[in-house]
Amino acid sequence: MAVTARAIPMLSDNYSWLLTDSVSGKVGIVDPAEAAPAIAALETAGLGLDFIFLTHHHNDHTDGVPELVARYQPVVVGNQADAHRLPKLDRPVYEGALVDFGGAKLRVIEVPGHTLGHIAYYIADGGILLPGDTLFSLGCGRLFEGSAAQMYASLHKFDDLPDETLVCCGHEYTESNAKFALAMDPENTALQARAAEVKALRAAGQPTLPVTLGMERATNPFLRAPDAEAFAKLRTAKDNF
């Protein structure tokens, strides 16, 4: 596995992800909400910064970009369709684009729903999915711009990815998501076990991420919704939970 991902906590519950390619030594940061924690993580590891990968335009995913650009001059990657509301992009991308990350490739997957211009990145060489605010552990992103049908379709664009895929989400929402998931699916033993694990991890101050896609397929009510209508009802129920 050439590329590895490590969570950098930011703000109250955001995760930025530090990507390193062991073959080329290239370094990337995904969705820096703040510059200072990213700089601290890079300095501690003795690393520079070659890339910033953005999933969507919200401030809690982009506010750290200007300071990191000024300090490291990384290549900034984001959706060309959202170029007007993202920090200045050096590499505008679109569905199916392959971004070369020191030999490893990040594949761009357009996932409208949370925002219309939201993209995810998949790194086969490392088995890493960076879904931003599209897929959370035991939950999914709120529908700020897209429809439930769009979000349902977006989540199912991950269907061809392996169960072992490490899902590196944009927020630590798992513990509160677990309460809703258990209310919807109380008999699910895999979910019960995951909820207990999550509770223990959070009590110990540990992140609940990354989580495998296989675990999410077994436990996440939004991935388990049988169709777009059921998904829409679930999303509305969660908004009012």
Active-site residue numbers? 56, 58, 60-61, 114, 133, 171
Q: How many residues does the chain have?
A: 241
Q: Report the C-alpha gap between 211 and 166 in whole angstroms.
A: 6
CB closer to Fe ion out of 14 and 165: 14
The reply on whether position 58 binds Zn ion by CB under 5 A is: yes
Q: How far apart are CB 56 and Fe ion at their closest, in Å?
A: 8
Contact window for Zn ion (CB under 5 A) among 13-21, 50-58, 73-81, 87-95:
50-58
* Nearest one of 236, 183, 189, 234 to 215, comparing CA atoms: 189
Smallest distance from Zn ion to CB 239, Å: 15
- The pattern of x and - marking residues 128 through 167 that bind Zn ion according to CB under 5 A reads -----x----------------------------------
Is 171 among the residues that bind Zn ion (CB under 5 A)? no
Binding residue for Fe ion, selected from 34, 63, 133, 172, defined by CB under 5 A? 133
**Interaction pattern, residues 81-120, with Fe ion; x per rule: CB under 5 A:** ----------------------------------------
Task: Check binding of 60 to Fe ion (CB under 5 A).
Answer: yes
User: Which of Zn ion, Fe ion, none has residue 216 at its interface (CB below 5 to 8 Å by kind)?
Assistant: none
Q: How far is the CB of 63 from Zn ion (least distance, A)?
A: 12
Binding region for Fe ion (CB under 5 A): 60, 133, 170
Binding region for Zn ion (CB under 5 A): 58, 133
